[in-house]
Amino acid sequence: MKKLAIVAAFAASVAAAAAVSAAVNPPVSIAYPISASSNDNYFKVSFTSTCSGGMNKIQWAFDGVVAGSATFYDNYNTQFLHKLPSGWHVLEVKASCGSEAIKFFVN
């Protein structure tokens, strides 16, 4: 009976750790540009994606126009400079396991 209680406690701790891991590693996370921020024409773009289960795909677009894509295993992380005209814009990143979009302003 004591062994069963130890196994149950271990299983509960593993489940709790998995839930924390999922909260720490969202499927897609855009770091830059910051949502609703104001940026120069050349601005930094940085995002990451964490998807399990083998080969995954990721695609990013500005204002609905695809700017790039890649295939990856487990984790994809990129950063680059991009130039857009003045005004409000939307960056959308779609991965096999989730997506995120932000709106930002270019001076």
Q: What is the pLDDT of residues 12-37, one digit of tens each?
A: 554 544 444 555 779 999 999 999 99
Other C-beta atoms lying within 10 Å of the C-beta of residue 51:
21
pLDDT of amino acid 71: 97
Q: What is the CA radius of gyration of the chain?
A: 19
Q: Structural domains in the chain?
A: 26-106 (2.60.40.10)
Per the CB < 8 A criterion, the answer to whether 103 and 36 are in contact is: yes
Residue 107: pLDDT over 80? yes
Q: What is the 3-state secondary structure (H, E, C) of the chain?
A: CHHHHHHHHHHHHHHHHHHHHHHHCCCEEEEECCCCCEECCEEEEEEEEEEEEEEEEEEEEECCEEEEEEEEEEEEEEEEEEECCCEEEEEEEEECCEEEEEEEEEC
pLDDT digits (tens, 9 = 90+) for 65-106: 999 999 999 999 999 999 999 999 999 999 999 999 999 999
Contact residues for 7 (Cβ-Cβ < 8 A; gap 6+)? none
Positive or negative CA dihedral for 49, 55, 56, 57?
positive
pLDDT of amino acid 99: 97
